[in-house]
Amino acid sequence: MKYLVTGGAGFIGSNLVKLLISKGLDVKVIDNFSTGYKKNLGNFDIEIIDGDIRNKELVEKSTSDVDIIFHLAAHIGNVKSINNSIEDSDINVLGTLNILEAARKNNVRKIVYSSSAAIFGELLTMPIDEKHPQNPDSPYGVSKLAAEKHILCFGKLYDIITVCLRYFNVYGVNQRYDAYGNVIPIFANNLFENKNITIFGDGTQTRDFINVKDVAKANYLTSQKAEESDVFNVGSGTEITINELTVLVQDASGIQTNIEYAPSRKGEVKHCRADISKIKNRFDFSPDPDIKSGLTEYFEWFKKDRGGKK
């Protein structure tokens, strides 16, 4: 059995590839390296296809001998999508349709899709389960939801098991600084650049942080055990405030700095915590909620990687 990971050189994709290889599986990767890093794939004995999921012919050829696809390649970020809404949908929606059409033609039997909690928008209830209303507040959330709907539709129309994993705030090794990216590497970059940490809003907003190792595990478990199409939340099931996070990252890094506050940004929700009972009960998924040890591991990696090239 052969596995394809789109976006396999990226932050989450490379951690998934590492896990799959540790299981002795036959893996290949497609990535255009716009945000992925070749060094993330280390010395893995895998086929690496340098290409874009918007290239229909390349995608069709790349999936010709594949049984299961992990689709992670995406244009990522709420704020980034507001400034680049057309590119966001071009990659996340049309690129996904290329994957789906190729999977249909090549008789791929299962697709595990990396979705996002951004599809929900501002939360009406806490914790949030899979049935929560989906009213995204950014083009990114809209494009990820549209891709979800396409994927689940293909699962109904064709003989393909389609699984959508809705990630909450993922952090961990191989997550590098991006001004539009996740809050943890942004805070890390500021700490090592001797800059103040900026919090948008009053810092009481909450997030559900999950280690990328657990996200990789969720992908693997669903690829092996899912027997029907469905959607699942993937988070830690816990929440902390951004104010609390600033204390934790300073403790983990050993660097202290000042905190500045700025106005809240458009497209960002106030509170977020996942109900993960569905994936726990279905696949015995048990994430590690200990963010302190996860941050310590992350900062050890960040110190070594800082300043590295692709």
Spans in the chain with pLDDT lower than 50:
309-310
Sketch out the chain's domains with CATH numbers. Answer: 2-168+212-235+273-287 (3.40.50.720)
pLDDT on residue 310: 41
Beta strands in the chain (DSSP E): 2-6, 26-31, 47-50, 68-71, 110-116, 161-167, 169-171, 197-200, 206-207, 209-211, 230-234, 240-241, 259-262
pLDDT on residue 180: 67
Catalytic residue IDs:
140
Within 8 A by CB and 6+ apart from 184, the residues are 171, 175, 209, 245, 249, 295, 298
Closest CA to 21 of 50, 42, 38: 42
